[in-house]
Structure 1
Amino acid sequence: MRLIFAGTPEVAVPSLEALLASDHEVVAVVTQPDARGRRGRTLHPSPVKEFALAQGLEVLTPLKASDPEFVEQVRGLNVDAGAVVAYGQILRPAMLAATRLGWVNLHFSVLPAWRGAAPVQRSLMAGDDLTGATTFLLDKGMDTGPVLGVLTERIRPTDTAGDLLERLAQAGAPLLAQTMSGLEAGALIPEPQSADDVSHAPKLTREDAYVRWERPAHVVDRQVRGCTPAPGAWTTLPDGQVAKLGPVSPRLDEPATVPGQLREADGEVLVGTGTHPVALSWIAPAGRKQMSARDWWRGARLPESAALGEA
């Protein structure tokens, strides 16, 4: 089939690579426009754009994929279908109709669970044991289209969102390529999603990433892992400054302390929660590089009553 591919971040690259290695022809790649770095001076291409250009592919970077002119441009490519992985824009009905067979999305959850922008993060934060990836036909709803293929993946106890997303990106790439082949052969029958067990995964906000130490240790653990690496779990230091945190480890053998209270035990920096304390792995105070929690503790020279979070 003649395909057009839409994707932006690094997790979309394995899928594009799998399609290029298949019998299908990728005639163009759509990705988000170049974005400015943290300091706002230099424009940087998306990982998908960098990879696509290295493969000699035509790359399209519309500001709005819904613009009628761009829809007509895609229609003029005469593609059979589109493939989407974490593109970052909603494809409107006019764009969905610009290909012969529609657009197939690879979504990193087992739909109808976790529809939305942050399925992996929300799944981790909810404490799920199992997740996966789904290929489905896009429709006008948010991840509501009929399902074409599914795979499952066990969530490991120490998985961060970054770890899990990387595994799903690698596992989902062949699923997407196989789905496109099945669609071409007419061998796949789209199955409507169940109306039961629907859950939603909105994009994480800064508030979602703020650690509330009064919660149980296992909830704090899930929250921090779900926010790693982005947007990054954070707290406030005893001096009121903001700091980002790496994954924490519940210490069930340690006695409960005041939520947020800091102490050192057996070479670890512990923080009290609503139940047992958790051990910090690393910390990055505002304006400073990431460092081990132990190094930070030694340099901070805090009093025994010091605590993280709101006083």
Structure 2
Amino acid sequence: MRIVFAGSPAAAVPSLEALAAEHEIAAVVTRAPSPQGRKRVLTPTPVAARAVELGLDVIEANRLDAEATERIAALEPELAAVVAYGGLVREPLLSLPRHGWINLHFSVLPDYRGAAPVQRALIDGRSSTGVSVFRLVEQLDAGPLVRVREAPIAEGTTAGELLAELAVLGAGELAEAVREIEAGTARFAEQVGSPTLAPKLTLADGALDLQRPAPVVLSRWRGVTPEPGAHGTVDGQRVKLLALVRSGAEPLPPGHAAIAGRAAVVGTGSAPLELVEVQPAGKRPMPGVDWLRGRGGTAVFELAPAEGGR
């Protein structure tokens, strides 16, 4: 089939590779280069970089406006596939390909419609998730399903690790969906059940509330790692919490950190957690125990105000 592929982050690369191996990719639509790293170097998206390696034409567009629509229309695609492109597809572009647009989403729809399904599932403490391939409609992630595959979530898995796993799983499901569409055997079914939403995370979502029980704190840490990043505040300075695990140390008051044996631990609303790796403001990542030793062995994280400001 002649396909236009739209995607931007690393999680979309396996899908691009899978489709390029079996079909004609008329063009790859991706977001424009953006400043990355401390030096803010203008960097193409992972999808753009891989598309160039594959010798594919690239259309850089941060939104699918009239100009982008005209360029895609000129390609006369039979089908368009989108994986985490980062922009909305609206009419008349939505109806332009003969077989429409299909989308790979990293949840079992209608659960977790939105930009952060993997992160929100982990924050909620879910033990399983999955991928869905559906026909794109104007309503957010609401189109009929053609492929669904569930997947367990291993204990301790972070959002970054889980997304990488689902990217590979989803690429296979997307490729199979295209095969079915090409063969005329695809069967689309409307989504069943009440939808839940997964809005994009902000920096504030990464703040860990150490007054909550340890499993709840760990679930949020997993969901915001690596982006937007877990953190706490000590002496008015943000401390990134890069690696956090369960600890068997003696309980501490919520937010109080101390050295227990050879480890740095911090108290929560239940059991303590081990601060395996942290990054204080303006410094490099370091073992949590080294950070605490440099502070005389203790630290106190600021606690969130009680609900309602009390």
Match of 1:218 among 215, 230, 236: 215
Richer in strand (by share): 2
TM-score normalised according to structure 2 size? 0.94
- Kindly provide the CA deviation profile for residues 229-271 of structure 1, in whole angstroms up to 9, marking residues without a partner as x: 111001112x2211110232233x4443211011221211111
- In structure 2, the gaps of 5 or more residues are 305-310
Aligned position for 2:308:
none
What secondary structure does 1:139 align onto? coil
* CA deviation after TM superposition for structure 1 residue 54, in Å: 1.1
Instruction: Please name the residue that 1:153 is paired with.
Output: 151
Q: Quick one: distance in 2 between partners of 1:42 and 1:266? A: 42
Q: 1:216, CA displacement in angstroms?
A: 0.6
- The change in CA–CA distance for 1:18 and 1:199 in structure 2 (over 3 A counts) is same
Residue 257 of structure 1 pairs with residue 252 of structure 2? yes
Give distance in 1, aligned partners of 2:246 and 2:281.
Answer: 25
1:1-311 equivalence runs, <5 A: 1-22=1-22, 24-39=23-38, 41-65=40-64, 67-194=65-192, 196-237=193-234, 239-251=235-247, 253-303=248-298, 306-310=299-303
Contact kept? 2:205, 2:228, Cα under 8 Å: no
Unaligned runs of at least 5 residues, structure 1: none
Q: Is the 8 A contact 1:159 1:225 kept in 2?
A: yes
Q: Letter of the aligned partner of 2:89 in structure 1? A: L
Give the drift of 1:39. 4.3
| CA pair 41-166 structure 1, distance change in 2 beyond 3 A | closer
Contact 1:221 1:247 in 2 (8 A): no
TM-score (norm 1): 0.94
Aligned-pair identity (%): 43
Q: For the residues of structure 2 that align with 1:255 and 1:140, how far apart are their CA atoms?
A: 53
**How far does the alpha carbon of each residue in 1:166-216 deviate from its partner, in whole angstroms, 9 at most, with x for none?**
00001111111110110111211110001x242110011122111111011
Matched residue SS, 1:82: strand
- Aligned-CA RMSD value: 1.4
State the distance in 1 between where 2:6 and 2:161 align. 23
SS in 2 for 1:167: helix
Pairs aligned (count)? 304
